[in-house]
């Protein structure tokens, strides 16, 4: 099946790891331990996507137990793009190392990327052992939703839960410091737990290079896993075929949308730009220092009595 798939799609990548090691690949009857695949068209499109990947693992539910590992990116139009898969026995250092090594060699290449995940110990151990997944080649960031879930489990307090999310999504330095002080006063232990984690791992303000491109969670991969929920009961061959057909459906849908696109900017970004532009009509801009390209912006006063704030 895989040989036929690659003959029809020469740029598609399939990599095996056999039970019994490399010599087992030459046996007439052999059993695979891990298998990795990535469809050629998705690999090519990924080179034009923001360099952010969400990774996750999900249980297989059929006769053959195991895990399906998935790496998902996002197109400029904010559509999910599955770029790689693997079937493994469990989420461990060995299985994640197999997946990450093939992902880097066959999909990512020389691109500098950011990847988001939950706090799976096997994945973290694999990342620590692979030089190609260390900074500055790759930047590992924590899923904010999983971090908040850990906070809920530890402290079971709605205020701490909300502050965790606000800190992990806040773009204003002033507001960030205000929330930080409130958390410190309210629960020093929760404060020490959160701020014991490097800020660049979980806050946009700490992520000075903007590596995560505004992506806070692993919702990309988890949403795609939900799409695959029905196929996780299938045998391996049927499961792989289902992932291929879903990728074809994605390309067909995007091709139809592209024929209706009236400008060079992706429709999702154009809509966001127009919305932001509409909020700036009452702003005032004054040059503060031309030599340093510094400007002072005063936001317009809104009917809610908010606004009228100055930023440099």
129 and 82 inside one domain:
yes
**Which domain covers residue 230, as residue numbers?**
1-142+217-275
Do the beta carbons of residue 148 and residue 195 sit within 8 Å? no
129 and 176 inside one domain:
no
Q: So what's the pLDDT on residue 32?
A: 79
Is residue 30 helix, strand or coil?
Answer: coil
**Which of 198, 213, 228 finishes a domain?**
213
DSSP string, 36-84: EEE-HHHHHHHTTS-SEEEEEEEE--SSS--EEEEEEEE-TTS-EEEEE
137 and 154 inside one domain:
no
Structure tokens at 305: 């009595």
**Which of 188, 213, 238 finishes a domain?**
213
294 and 271 inside one domain:
no
Do the beta carbons of residue 70 and residue 56 sit within 8 Å? yes
153 and 230 inside one domain:
no
165 and 148 inside one domain:
yes
Q: So what's the pLDDT on residue 178?
A: 94
185 and 37 inside one domain:
no
28 and 128 inside one domain:
yes
87 and 125 inside one domain:
yes
Tokens 């399906």 found at: 68
33 and 93 inside one domain:
yes
Structure tokens at 127: 């990342």
231 and 164 inside one domain:
no
- Tens-of-pLDDT digits for all 312 residues of the chain? 778 788 888 888 988 887 665 655 555 566 778 899 999 889 999 998 889 999 888 888 777 778 889 999 988 777 888 999 999 988 889 999 999 999 999 999 999 999 988 877 888 898 889 988 988 899 989 888 989 999 999 998 899 999 999 999 998 888 999 999 999 999 999 999 999 999 988 898 888 778 888 888 887 777 776 777 777 777 778 888 888 888 888 888 777 777 776 766 666 667 777 777 777 777 888 888 888 888 888 887 766 666 677 777
Is residue 86 helix, strand or coil?
Answer: strand
Q: So what's the pLDDT on residue 247?
A: 84
225 and 209 inside one domain:
no
Instruction: Name 131's Cβ contacts closer than 8 Å, sequence gap at least 6.
Output: 137
Q: So what's the pLDDT on residue 24?
A: 53
Alpha-carbon span 15 to 2, nearest angstrom: 10
Q: So what's the pLDDT on residue 25?
A: 54
Q: So what's the pLDDT on residue 29?
A: 61
Which residue blocks in the chain are alpha helix, DSSP H?
2-8, 40-46, 93-103, 121-129, 144-155, 158-169, 173-186, 188-195, 199-202, 219-227, 236-259, 267-278
Burial 135-165 (b: 16+ CB within 10 A, else e): eeebbbbbbbebbbeebeeebeeeebbebbe
Q: What is the CATH number of the domain that holds 244?
A: 3.30.420.10
Number of domains the chain is built from = 3
Alpha-carbon span 144 to 50, nearest angstrom: 19
**pTM for the whole structure:** 0.78
Q: So what's the pLDDT on residue 195?
A: 93
**Which of 189, 213, 237 finishes a domain?**
213
Alpha-carbon span 70 to 83, nearest angstrom: 8
Phi-psi region of 114 (alpha: psi -120 to 50; beta: other; left: phi over 0): beta
């Amino acid at each position: 099946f895989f040989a036929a798939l690659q003959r029809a799609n020469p740029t598609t990548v399939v990599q095996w790891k056999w039970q019994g090691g490399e010599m087992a690949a030459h046996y007439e009857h052999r059993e695979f331990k891990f298998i990795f695949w990535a469809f050629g068209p998705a690999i090519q499109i990924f080179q034009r996507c923001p360099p952010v990947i969400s990774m996750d693992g999900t249980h297989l539910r059929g006769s053959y137990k195991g895990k399906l590992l998935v790496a998902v990116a996002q197109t400029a139009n904010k559509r999910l793009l599955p770029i790689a898969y693997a079937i493994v026995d469990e989420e461990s250092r060995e299985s994640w190392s197999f997946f990450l090594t093939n992902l880097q060699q066959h999909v990512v290449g020389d691109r500098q990327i950011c990847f988001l995940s939950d706090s799976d110990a096997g994945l973290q151990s694999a990342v620590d052992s692979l030089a190609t997944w260390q900074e500055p080649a790759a930047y590992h960031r924590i899923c904010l939703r999983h971090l908040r879930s850990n906070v809920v489990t530890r402290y079971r307090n709605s205020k701490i839960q909300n502050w965790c999310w606000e800190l992990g999504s806040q773009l204003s330095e002033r507001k960030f410091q205000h929330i930080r002080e409130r958390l410190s006063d309210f629960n020093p232990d929760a404060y020490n737990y959160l701020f014991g984690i490097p800020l660049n791992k979980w806050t946009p303000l700490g992520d000075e290079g903007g590596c995560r491109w505004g992506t806070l969670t692993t919702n990309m991969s988890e949403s795609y896993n939900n799409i695959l929920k029905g196929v996780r009961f299938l045998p391996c061959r049927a499961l792989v075929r289902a992932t291929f057909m879903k990728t074809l459906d994605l390309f067909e849908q995007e091709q139809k949308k592209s024929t209706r696109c009236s400008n060079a900017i992706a429709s999702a970004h154009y809509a966001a730009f127009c919305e932001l532009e509409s909020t700036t009509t009452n702003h005032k801009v004054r040059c503060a220092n031309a030599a340093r390209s510094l400007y002072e912006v005063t936001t317009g006063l809104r009917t809610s009595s908010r606004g009228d704030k100055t930023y440099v």
